[in-house]
């Protein structure tokens, strides 16, 4: 059965259930969900519906089986019942986090209380839905959980890229001196001026100073040279009308780490 045929069938079933159409997703976009519930009927229903939505789905009946499944395979989200034989949902969630499982977890309960919801949230749950399950609400919560996971993954990817961009490469003694100087500048609160020929790595040093400073969580702001003149340079670079702009222009970079290059 082709993917296009399956997509058409999914749309027809959604229309029959009165749900809005879901944007089509290619075969490579499938996210994997683990359903953990001790009631075979609920487990089977969620498995069928989520597969019908285009997700890859595994289903188990106990917390121990969920822990084993999460060890063998990576999941993007879990639907986890609170009341399970053996280890309950809260304990299972805590053990999953201890194992390093970072999937978004949606807790399910037929006897939900505020206390249970608070415990689940503290343990790292994304959201909480109650039985009898509302199909539309459950799917909405699952989509929100997966969207949150995608955003977090993109954020981590960007942070890794920024970390690579701020590295000062080289193993020579000169490169090591530059690294030590950049580290010292990052720890300082004084304005930093970086000078060098074109292509010498001034931008990389500026990013390293910013990344190692107390302001690393804030933005590194690039100011184009053409936007500065002697009248406004001090205000843009230093926050005042300082005459330092007379000798710092032209400059290439200014950041919240007080770093400028020329």
- Please name the residue ranges forming H helices in the chain: 3-16, 40-52, 63-72, 89-98, 114-123, 135-165, 173-187, 202-211, 233-238, 245-248
**157 shares its domain with 180:** no
What is the number of structural domains in the chain?
A: 2
Q: Is residue 243 part of a domain?
A: yes
**177 shares its domain with 81:** no
Q: Is residue 7 part of a domain?
A: no
For the residues 238-258, what does the mean pLDDT come to?
Answer: 47
Domain boundary residue, one of 133, 162, 191: 162
Q: Is residue 224 part of a domain?
A: yes
- Count of C-beta atoms within a 10 Å radius of residue 261: 22
- 35, 47 Cβ separation under 8 angstroms: yes
Q: Is residue 1 part of a domain?
A: no
**56 shares its domain with 152:** yes
Q: Is residue 6 part of a domain?
A: no
Q: Which of 134, 82, 73 is nearest to 108 (CA)?
A: 82
**120 shares its domain with 236:** no
Burial 9-47 (b: 16+ CB within 10 A, else e): ebeeebeeeeeeeeeeeeeeeebbbbbbbeeeebbebbb
**Average pLDDT, rounded, for the chain:** 78
- 258, 248 Cβ separation under 8 angstroms: no
Q: Is residue 3 part of a domain?
A: no
- Which residue has 């037929």 as its token pair? 110
- In degrees to the nearest 10, what's the CA dihedral of 71, 75, 76, 77? -90
Q: Is the pLDDT of residue 248 over 70?
A: no
Predicted model pTM:
0.60
Domain boundary residue, one of 162, 191, 212: 162
**90 shares its domain with 123:** yes
Tell which wins on pLDDT, 59 or 121.
59
**229 shares its domain with 153:** no
CA distances (Å), origin 223, targets 43, 226, 233: 56, 9, 10
Q: Is residue 187 part of a domain?
A: yes
**199 shares its domain with 139:** no
**139 shares its domain with 195:** no
For the residues 5-17, what does the mean pLDDT come to?
Answer: 56
Q: Which domain holds residue 194?
A: 173-261
Q: Which of 201, 148, 146 is nearest to 175 (CA)?
A: 201
**121 shares its domain with 185:** no
Residue 168 CA to its chain's centroid (Å): 26
* CA–CA gap between residue 18 and residue 95 (Å, rounded): 38
Domain boundary residue, one of 162, 182, 212: 162
Q: Is the pLDDT of residue 169 over 80?
A: no
What's the confidence (pLDDT) of residue 25? 46
Q: Is the pLDDT of residue 80 over 70?
A: yes
Say which CATH number the domain at 92 has: 3.40.50.2300
Q: Is residue 149 part of a domain?
A: yes
**184 shares its domain with 155:** no
**152 shares its domain with 242:** no
**68 shares its domain with 156:** yes
């Amino acid at each position: 059965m082709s993917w296009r045929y399956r997509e058409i069938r999914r749309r027809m079933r959604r229309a029959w259930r009165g749900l809005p159409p879901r944007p089509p997703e290619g075969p490579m976009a499938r996210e994997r969900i683990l359903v953990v519930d001790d009631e075979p009927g609920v487990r089977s229903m969620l498995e069928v519906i989520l597969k019908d939505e285009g997700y890859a789905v595994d289903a188990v009946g106990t917390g121990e089986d969920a822990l084993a499944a999460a060890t063998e395979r990576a999941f993007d989200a879990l639907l986890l019942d609170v009341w399970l034989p053996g280890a309950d949902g809260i304990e299972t969630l805590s053990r999953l986090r201890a194992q390093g499982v970072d999937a978004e977890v949606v807790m399910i309960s037929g006897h939900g209380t505020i206390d249970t919801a608070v415990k689940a949230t503290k343990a790292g749950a994304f959201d909480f839905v109650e039985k009898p399950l509302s199909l539309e609400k459950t799917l909405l919560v699952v989509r929100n959980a997966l969207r949150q996971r995608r955003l977090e993954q993109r954020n981590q990817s960007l942070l890794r890229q920024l970390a690579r961009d701020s590295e000062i490469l080289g193993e020579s003694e000169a490169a090591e001196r530059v690294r030590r100087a950049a580290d010292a500048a990052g720890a300082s609160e004084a304005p930093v001026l970086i000078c060098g020929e074109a292509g010498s790595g001034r931008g990389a040093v500026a990013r390293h100073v910013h990344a190692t400073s107390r302001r690393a969580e804030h933005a590194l702001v690039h100011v184009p040279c053409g936007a500065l003149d002697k009248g406004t340079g001090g205000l843009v670079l230093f926050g005042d009308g300082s005459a330092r702009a007379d000798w710092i222009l032209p400059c290439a970079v200014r950041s919240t780490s007080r770093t400028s290059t020329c």
